[in-house]
Structure 1
């Protein structure tokens, strides 16, 4: 795993491992299971590389740690400054040969407004590491050409969880949509999947 989007990688990891508890789990993502095109999603959305340039972000997989450094430019076609960005995350588990929705998920109906809110889940594992936060507060993901810069940082892929029997195969589906000032959805939506296994340590 040499190049990818720090934004979505860290978001996926936090959704899977952020619940506090007594059982320790390790998340192992597939080698080719990050930023995969969404399977059978309505509307035929584009993959993540239609939103940001992923060639300038480096992520190093060291087993139970992930090191991130670099920057990414917004290249989302037809999105304009002032558009509202909505994000939804759904976690699915493989059961008896098919993907089943779990109770776990998260969403934001106005991501640009609260992406730097310290009380939001994504701040601790993503946006607090953006070094040009003043600029991105105004440009967000809806300004083509905006460059999101990160300080190098490292995250753990292990956590103590209070949910029993989480061993298994999972995928996280991340959908990002833009809406104009009339609340009409822009034609290009972004959808990407992360696939891997959660193991009890």
Structure 2
């Protein structure tokens, strides 16, 4: 059996290291003090952030660079036990007067099963700070579920390899619920965060 020379392994390591080190870091600077914006041109059955969470026990504060959250969130979306929650996330770029899709998108078929997985980006930015996660883990985002948080800062940092994230963009989150027969529930959630990317 042929064994590659040692230098082949060295070259492979250099290539892999080069790919890792070539990632450019970007900071997402918020455009709106309210942070969350309604998705435009949506029918009445598509709700905003208030359609999924009662935020009256929580406070979002921002200096447009970071977001400090303190308090609790209570789920209010009228879904049922056993529903599968599908989440999509995408970044859109504002170009020549309209929003254009980019290659940055995530489609999660079963959001609830991965809500507390440490390798997921939403764990890093949000669910790791839920201090009652053991009590609410099985409830996911069923109505009445209260997430109790330790205060935390959200630093909106992104990494991109071989691509440029500069200028005005928006982060778009959508959530859809499907019953045990795979039929989509009548209401869904859509929210946006508008801002501008700057290289770190």
TM-score, normalised relative to structure 1: 0.80
Superposed displacement of residue 64, structure 1: 3.0
What RMSD over aligned residues (CA atoms) do the two structures have, in Å? Answer: 2.3
Give the superposition deviation at 1:162. Answer: 4.0
Structure (1/2) with the larger strand percentage? 2
8 Å Cα contact 1:33-1:196 kept in structure 2: no
Distance in 2 between residues matched to 1:106 and 1:37, nearest whole Å: 20
Please report how far the alpha carbon of residue 158 of structure 1 lies from its aligned counterpart in structure 2 after TM superposition.
Answer: 4.9
Unaligned runs of 5+ in 1: 1-18
Give the distance between the partners of 1:163 and 1:152, measured in 2 at CA. Answer: 35
Conserved? CA contact 2:30–2:65, under 8 Å: no
Q: Provide the rounded CA distance (Å) in 1 between the counterparts of 2:98 and 2:125.
A: 30
Change (3 A) 1:63 1:42: closer
Indicate the residue corresponding to 2:117 in structure 1: 117
**Hey, what does 1:39 align to over in structure 2?**
40
In 2, Cα distance between the equivalents of 1:146 and 1:27? 30
How many residues matched? Answer: 181
- TM-score, normalised to structure 2, is 0.80
The corresponding residue for 1:146 is 145
SS of the aligned residue for 1:82 comes to coil
Distance in 2, matches of 1:124 and 1:20, equals 21
Matched, 1:171 2:162: no
Per-residue CA distance 1:139-187 (angstroms, 9 max, x = gap):
111x211101111112334566545532111011111011111111111
Q: Give secondary structure in 1 for the equivalent of 2:154.
A: strand
Deviation larger for 98-107 or 161-170: 161-170
Whole-angstrom CA distance in 2 between matches of 1:66 and 1:32:
10
Structure 1 residues 48 and 65, CA gap change in structure 2 (3 angstroms): closer
Equivalences for residues 27-106 of structure 1 within 5 A:
27-32=28-33, 34-41=35-42, 45-77=46-78, 79-106=79-106
Q: Distance in 2 between matches of 1:101 and 1:28?
A: 19
1:87-112 per-position Cα deviation (integer Å, ceiling 9, x unaligned): 00111101111110000011211111
2-structure distance, mates of 1:90, 1:43: 22
Matched residue SS, 1:128: helix
Give the corresponding residue for 1:128. Answer: 128
Q: 1:153 to 1:88 in 2, by over 3 A?
A: same
Structure 2 Cα separation of the partners of residues 162 and 92 of structure 1: 17
